Amino acid sequence: MLTSRELLQFLYHRRTIRAIDRQFALFIGQQLGDLDIAMVGWAALVSYELGKGNVCIDLSSLDVARLFDLPASDSARVVELLKPQNAIDMFLRVSVVGNGDTASPLVLDGTRLYLHRYWCAERCVANEIKKRAVLIKVACDPKSILDDLFAPDIADLKIHYADWESDVNLSHVDRQQKLVDYLDITSPEQVDFGALVALLKINVNMSEYLALIPDSMRLNWQKVAAAVALCYRFSVISGGPGTGKTTTVAKLLAALIFSSDKPTDLEIKLVAPTGKAANRLAKSISQALVNLPVSQSLREKIPIQASTIHSLLGVIMNRVKFRHYEGNRLHLDILVVDEASMVDLPLMARLLSALPDHARVILLGDRDQLASVEAGAVLGDICINAKNIYSATCAEQLSALTGFSLACFNANQPVTDSVCLLKKSYRFHTKSGVGQLAFAINAGDSRRLQQIFAQGYDDIAFHEMDSDVYTAAVHQAVEGYREYLNALSMGETMSAVLHKFSAVRLLCALSEGQFGVAGFNREIENALVKERLIILGKEKSYLGRPVMVTQNDHGLGLYNGDIGIVVKQEDSLRVVFEMPNGRLKTFLPSRLPEHKTAYAITIHKSQGSEFSHIILVLPPMPTPVMTRELVYTGVTRAIEMLDIYATCSSLEIAVRRKTHRFSGLAEALSTPLNLC
């Protein structure tokens, strides 16, 4: 029979497990004085699954036919060694597995086996959320400001309705439905649409207009989301692209400032996991403030600068620990975290534990996007049971703040009560192919894909992958990048060059191979040389080269995923980056941390960014990384145009394959608070 030592050697030599997985397993064997016992194999499996993003292994749902993702025949030999049916009894007997009360390398919690650090992080996140997910009394009644902030814009509505009336393709019923959608009407049968249209023809204010459709006939989820965040010190606003998450949070911050009873100004911080996401958050908030119906003095109290989570916590060079932690907490009243789906479990634990007890934390993100590259799916676990149906007590308070009637049931669900899902897209309308495609992907409806491609939407195109089409994808990318390279050669500003480079991006599912980032970067670079748009020299850096940082450098303020362009400055090459504060900063290429060419990037690396035109390439043969969440994330990076290069079969298989990460966070959030 296979021993654990032989298993490690077999898995390591075929590159199934990483060096760190092997070393951890050997460490466990050394602690027990036996490298051949089954516990060593279990240790390797826990570490291996962690590398895939799973916080733990769950014996109650372990796929014994695919242990270590091996073929069934090899997995059967591993099962014979590990004996999963007897594993819990063994875990309870060995010294390297504990229950969390004392220090031990591994922790058994029910049927889940964790590395101790990740068990602690999961407990911390669950407890910090549950401490804050308690219904609180709002300092003063903010209903009036919520009404003002979220009132429909009648001037904008008049412009839209004029367009609808002039559209000969729209019937009377179609125009009526557009009014229903615009005004968030839930009871159209009770509305006099003739009177609504008549009022649009004369000068009336919104209060007169809304008198025809009182709150009891409407339901604006953005307004509900703001009310949720007023009622809890922990809240989540989740929604897809274009659902108005940052617009909502700008209005929410105005309402929090207006209703605050603090004698001094509220200390508000905006953060995101990456520099580019922080920069985008800052720009979105700035744009939202322009039309905010509040006084200038209140508007000035809302911050327009954002930073990375690491910067907020305070990086200490060459140390794992941050400057701010549970023993030295942050000084703030409100924390907004954008792109929360990208935040891994350990980082979320460090962030939440560094907050003062009174602070509100508001998570923004899309629960349907890819989870973090590292272990955990925190946002997904928090939102897993959220359906915009609230407990009776919560619904009563939300209704009092919004005037809306909300679905409710008599159950205590504090964490779910603090979540609001935004479903109305202001970007992807019914004529948007990108929007229709994203909806079908999210629903796992693979049969709908070809119907959407065949309907002739102007903003999407599907290209069945073969060798000629591969060349076409490269050519399309070259044409897209031509504009920024021409801008660079014409001496346009660095801001203009960066902006034009961000207009288009080629996204891949894979890193390596012909259909991965490495292959496409090489082909695009060669094609750009043939077009005389770039000139390669002996040095790796050249004028116009886009580079992506792949390793954090806290000293330089550059982080994994940041993208810059090589420019000529003072007779030498420099790399210019747009920093989270919106300013441009240049570096010598030799000073950069590890980096690579970035004409093509992975879908993972594109999170937190949006581009006018996306060229999405999926390999012709399906691979395990190709999942529904991956395709959805890639598709929704496109603002105006999407070209997909793939085979029908590989795309459909990916859409049917939903990612599931093992953790105990969702279950822990549904149990009473348990402070360690």
Annotated binding-site ranges for ATP: 239-246
386 and 292 inside one domain: yes
229 and 354 inside one domain: yes
Q: Is the pLDDT of residue 501 over 70?
A: yes
209 and 231 inside one domain: no
**664 in a domain, yes or no?**
no
Please report the DSSP string for 201-212 in residue order. TS---HHHHHTT
Q: Please give the model's pTM, rounded to 2 decimal places.
A: 0.90
pLDDT in tens, 503-561: 999 999 998 888 899 999 999 999 999 999 998 877 788 999 999 998 888 788 888 88
366 and 404 inside one domain: yes
**674 in a domain, yes or no?**
no
Q: Is the pLDDT of residue 319 over 80?
A: no
pLDDT at 430: 65
157 and 271 inside one domain: no
398 and 483 inside one domain: no
pLDDT at 558: 85
**356 in a domain, yes or no?**
yes
The domain that holds 52 is classified in CATH as 1.10.10.1020
pLDDT in tens, 48-62: 999 999 999 999 999
155 and 175 inside one domain: yes
Average pLDDT on 616-641 reads 91
Annotated binding-site ranges: 239-246
388 and 291 inside one domain: yes
**164 in a domain, yes or no?**
yes
- Mean pLDDT, all residues of the chain: 90
The domain that holds 636 is classified in CATH as 3.40.50.300
62 and 160 inside one domain: no
Parent domain of 261 = 221-426
450 and 473 inside one domain: yes
Q: What's the CA gap between 410 and 474, in Å, rounded?
A: 57
**301 in a domain, yes or no?**
yes
pLDDT confidence bin for 157, thresholds 50/70/90? confident
199 and 90 inside one domain: no
Q: HEC profile for 43-102? A: HHHHHHHHHCCCCEEEHHHCCHHHHHHCCHHHHHHHHHHHCHHHHHHHHHHCCCEECCCC
pLDDT confidence bin for 676, thresholds 50/70/90? very low
Nearest to 241 by CA among 432, 436, 427: 427
pLDDT at 183: 87
pLDDT at 261: 79
Sheet strand arrangement including 56-58: 56-58, 112-115, 106-109, 97-98
For residue 571, give every residue at least 6 positions away whose Cβ sits within 8 Å of its Cβ, in sequence order, or none.
none
From 160, 190, 217, the end of a domain falls on 217
Give strand pairing partners of 462: 644
From 399, 426, 453, the end of a domain falls on 426
Q: Is the pLDDT of residue 661 over 50?
A: yes
**122 in a domain, yes or no?**
no
**319 in a domain, yes or no?**
yes
Q: What's the CA gap between 83 and 91, in Å, rounded?
A: 12
> Which range among 18-27, 35-44, 449-458, 475-484 shows the weakest confidence by mean pLDDT?
449-458
pLDDT at 673: 66
336 and 252 inside one domain: yes
What single-letter DSSP state applies at residue 324? S
From 402, 426, 450, the end of a domain falls on 426
**498 in a domain, yes or no?**
yes
Provide the 10 A C-beta neighbour count for residue 131.
15
Domain count, the chain: 4
pLDDT at 613: 95
pLDDT in tens, 253-288: 999 998 887 878 899 999 999 888 888 898 899 989
